[in-house]
Amino acid sequence: MTKLIFTNARLIDPEAGTDALGWLHVADGRIVASGDGPAPEADAQVIDCGGQCLAPGIVDIGVKVCEPGERHKESYKSAGLAAAAGGVTTMVTRPDTLPAIDTPETLEFVTRRAQADTPVNVLTMAALTKGRDGREMTEIGFLMDAGAVAFTDCDHVVKDTKVFSRALTYARACGALVIAHPQDPGLSHGAAATSGKFAALRGLPAVSPMAERMGLDRDIALLEMTGATYHADQITTARALPALERAKRNGLDITAGTSIHHLTLNELDVADYRTFFKVKPPLRSEDDRQAMIEAVRSGLIDTISSMHTPQDEESKRLPFEEAASGAVALETLLPAALRLYHADQLDLPALFRAMTLNPAKRLGLDCGRLSAGAPADLVLFDPDVPFVLDRFTLKSKSQNTPFDGHRMQGKVTATYVAGKEIFRRS
């Protein structure tokens, strides 16, 4: 294995909460040491970072790769290239495929595809119920043996509380993490926007932010009853935060994430029915967006993810109400997150705590940090380089990004997995 010494780097250490010039020594795919001052002399390849930022590679929970079933939207090969270009070194993929990843055989198929086609680490979540239809739980134990790292029905909320409570109880017995989508399915059914003046003026079917609060309240009650390990995939409204804070204060094993789109965009960005801005849950008010930023800063919200959801042109070039939800974000996650840094709303250690350290800790991984012994999964990036995003340059098969044509600041220079360079910007 190649030995590397990164010098003249701004080391972004989310574990220590520091952002300082220094060096990093890598050998045999793992971090050996780091420090400030002159780098140690060693028989190693020296990489002068030129003052750019060196941070742990992003651990992205909730990536959709459309294999099996919709390979024309995204394959493991295209998703892996997009992840590498975006500084994502570990993709944690969703089971909302066709068919759903709800059997060990399907899980083993996608695992082989990922290993063969992607340069980044790929971990797979399995469905919590068969077919994600909320009626019968999957074989959680067998799926864990096959490599599933968590269980989720994604945006299909399990309506039957008895089924969900039994699944949580069984998951607890197996030591499995359950990831849920907090939303009241009755209130949110058919919604394309968040209720309020904007949705009313546009004539869009809308959902109250209270639907998220109600869904989270139900899940917290079941979590209190079962003692399971739980992660809310996306908290997007200020109304849900007090319930989350109480659950954490009461000692429940609960964490929560939010998406980069809900941190950097609001409902007004939809403008005149721009369907690339249609995501699930729908974009929220500016007050909600600011509340999410503060929750990330305080640590109440643990993780930031891309919620990468490829959709083809035919799915998006429809009236807003009928268009498919979702946006690609593997390549835009970091530059979009850097908007918060440049606006002095979150510093780099706080951003990378939510994008690397906390997701890794929740999944029991040893990556996401710069400490000695951790895997040398790294991203080298220049936080200041400006550019205008052109969606047709993205490496994803689908280019449904809301940031097309936007002025952005910050680009990935190189990405490393286990000390091996898998991407370098030309």
Per-residue pLDDT of the chain (426 residues; tens, 9 = 90+): 589 999 999 999 999 999 999 999 999 999 999 999 888 887 899 999 999 999 999 999 999 999 999 999 999 999 999 999 999 999 999 999 999 999 999 999 999 999 999 999 999 999 999 999 999 999 999 999 999 999 999 999 999 999 999 999 999 999 999 999 999 999 999 999 999 999 999 999 999 999 999 999 999 999 999 999 999 999 999 999 999 999 999 999 999 999 999 999 999 999 999 999 999 999 999 999 999 999 999 999 999 999 999 999 999 999 999 999 999 999 999 999 999 999 999 999 999 999 999 999 999 999 999 999 999 999 999 999 999 999 999 999 999 999 999 999 999 999 999 999 999 998
CA distance 77 to 358: 26
CA distance 153 to 133: 8
Report the candidate in 44, 55, 45 with the shortest Cα–Cα distance to residue 22: 55
Report the candidate in 66, 29, 15 with the shortest Cα–Cα distance to residue 315: 66
Q: CA 20, 346, 408, 92 torsion: positive or negative?
A: positive
CA distance 232 to 248: 12
Q: What pLDDT is recorded for position 38? A: 85
What count of other Cβ atoms lies within 10 Å of the Cβ of residue 271?
10
Give, in degrees to the nearest 5, the angle at Cα 94 between 88 and 100: 150
- Spell out the alpha helix ranges (H) of 87-237: 104-117, 140-145, 161-174, 185-188, 197-202, 210-226
Tell the residue number behind the tokens 């895997």, with chain if given.
Answer: 375
CA distance 206 to 212: 13
CA distance 13 to 371: 8
Q: For the chain, how many residues are written?
A: 426
Phi and psi (nearest 5°) for 297? -60, -40
CA distance 424 to 78: 16
Tell the residue number behind the tokens 């992003």, with chain if given.
Answer: 58
Based on its alpha-carbon atoms, the radius of gyration of the chain, rounded to whole angstroms, reads: 21
CA distance 356 to 141: 27
Q: What pLDDT is recorded for position 1? A: 56
8 Å CB contact between 14 and 48: no
Three-state SS at 188? helix
**116 exposed, middle or buried (CB, 10 Å; 0-12, 13-18, 19+)?**
exposed
